[in-house]
Structure 1
Amino acid sequence: MATARSGTPAAVLALGLALGGCTASTPGSMDDSPTDMDLSEASSEQAAALDDREVTLDEYQAAFTRYQECLSGAGHELGSVIFDGQEYSYVVSTDAVESGADDECYRTEFSYVDMYWQTSDRLQDASPTTP
């Protein structure tokens, strides 16, 4: 069995909103500084992407690639990876989740960048609205 993921998991998003605010003033950015967040578990590349309080498409894609490579290095592959121009959808194997590799790789390589990206005005403006 596998777990499908599209964008930010709810728990990470809730944590991010609690720590980082819930509004974004420019595409891929948040009003609160990343220095207000505990980035001690983030890789140096992920932390560097947040230095300017803005996440670009290139930074978002690079962080996802690092997450994917981290999982691969731990012996797990993501399935059904789709990038729709705004966000990634993918499937994580149960083995990757149960071993802790998914949590470790997501947290260190992608979670904070993903959180910034998912809550950005750019993505919110592009999301379809439901009546």
Structure 2
Amino acid sequence: MNDDFSPRLTAMRDALVAEVDRTGAAGTTPVRRRRPTRATVLAVLAAFVVGGGLTGGLTAAALPGADPDAAVETQLATSARYQVEESNHATVLGTPTFLVTHGDRTITLDDRPRGADAITVSWTCLDRADLRVAVDGTRVDVGDPCLPSTEDVDRTSWSMTPVDGSGNSTVTLSGSGPARYAVWVSWMQRATIAEPSPQQDAETADGVVTLQEYTTAFNRLQACMAQAGHPMGEVPLTYSADGLWSSTPGGDGPWYQYGIASESVEAFDTQCYPREFDDVDTIWQGEHPMPYEPPVDPALRD
């Protein structure tokens, strides 16, 4: 299968990681860290795969190899692997299946690898189509018309679907007429996500989070990250007033704002944040919504 990272895509991935590190480095504005939604991840991934204004665009013709199908395969494989391995800290297993086809197709995934508990599907339309995608009968597409990618817009879609049992699974695609589409499918194993600690369960049991509970939970998050070898440093509570951030009480808030370096993200996402802070953070931010528009000057001031 032609699903290795090309040198250009590897460089783009490294550039994205460097940008994440830069924005989280000392001297830059700390940011509130929340687990991204699938829509957020897809938006980030589209910027990564295509490059947009950062790279001048990445089209199938720019991908390695003269065979346009091989180029599309590389595009889909790179998208799926980045989503699975980088965004979700999971593992692609087995031998992926790639097809360029049209109409209705069913892909049966047999020879289930040990540990496989989900299926990842990445697809793109080469012609405008009404494409429906399902895993074991469950729809994973959003129902919108499937449009081809352009130089400026990548329209690669992606899904990760848990599967039960130990047998085969199927991916069913229903296309419209002769409109062509490409699909990349593989078994995968999801990351193990820590369960909430008893302390966090107690703090959220009544559905309300106090400031004391919010700060106590964040202190546990910091302790967990430090124990994992990724100390977060000093993170003050911050308030928003008159379009400015401040560590002085007053205005809206408070919230903890912080950056996570790339080498710390897996420990944060899979262990410390879900164990000590995720549920508390969700309730607190529901009770204290952060201003939608960022302040004019987001730098902290005393």
TM-score normalized by structure 1?
Answer: 0.64
Aligned to 1:52: 206
- The structure that is strand-richer by fraction is 2
Q: Give unpaired runs (5+ residues) of structure 1.
A: 15-39
CA distance in 2, matches of 1:69, 1:128: 28
Q: Give unpaired runs (5+ residues) of structure 2.
A: 1-20, 25-29, 41-193, 240-253, 294-302
CA distance in 1, matches of 2:234, 2:267: 18
Aligned to 1:6: 32
Q: Give deviations 1:39-62, integer Å, cap 9, x for gaps.
A: x81000000001111100000001
CA distance in 1, matches of 2:33, 2:229: 22
Which structure is larger by alpha-carbon Rg, 1 or 2? 2
Q: Which amino acid aligns with 2:232?
A: L
1:70 aligns with 2:243: no
8 Å CA contact 1:55, 1:116 repeated in 2: yes
Aligned to 2:124: none
The count of corresponding residues between Structure 1 and Structure 2 is 98
Identity of aligned residues (%): 35
1:88 aligns with 2:256: yes
CA distance in 2, matches of 1:110, 1:63: 6
TM-score normalized by structure 2?
Answer: 0.29
CA distance in 2, matches of 1:46, 1:75: 22
Q: 1:108 aligns with which of 266, 270, 275?
A: 275
Where do residues 17-36 of structure 1 align in structure 2 (5 Å cutoff)? none
8 Å CA contact 2:225, 2:231 repeated in 1: yes
Residue 87 of structure 1 aligns to a residue in which SS? strand
8 Å CA contact 1:7, 1:87 repeated in 2: no
Shift of 1:8: 3.1
Q: Per the alignment, do residues 95 and 129 of structure 1 end up closer, same or farther by CA in structure 2, a change over 3 Å counting?
A: closer
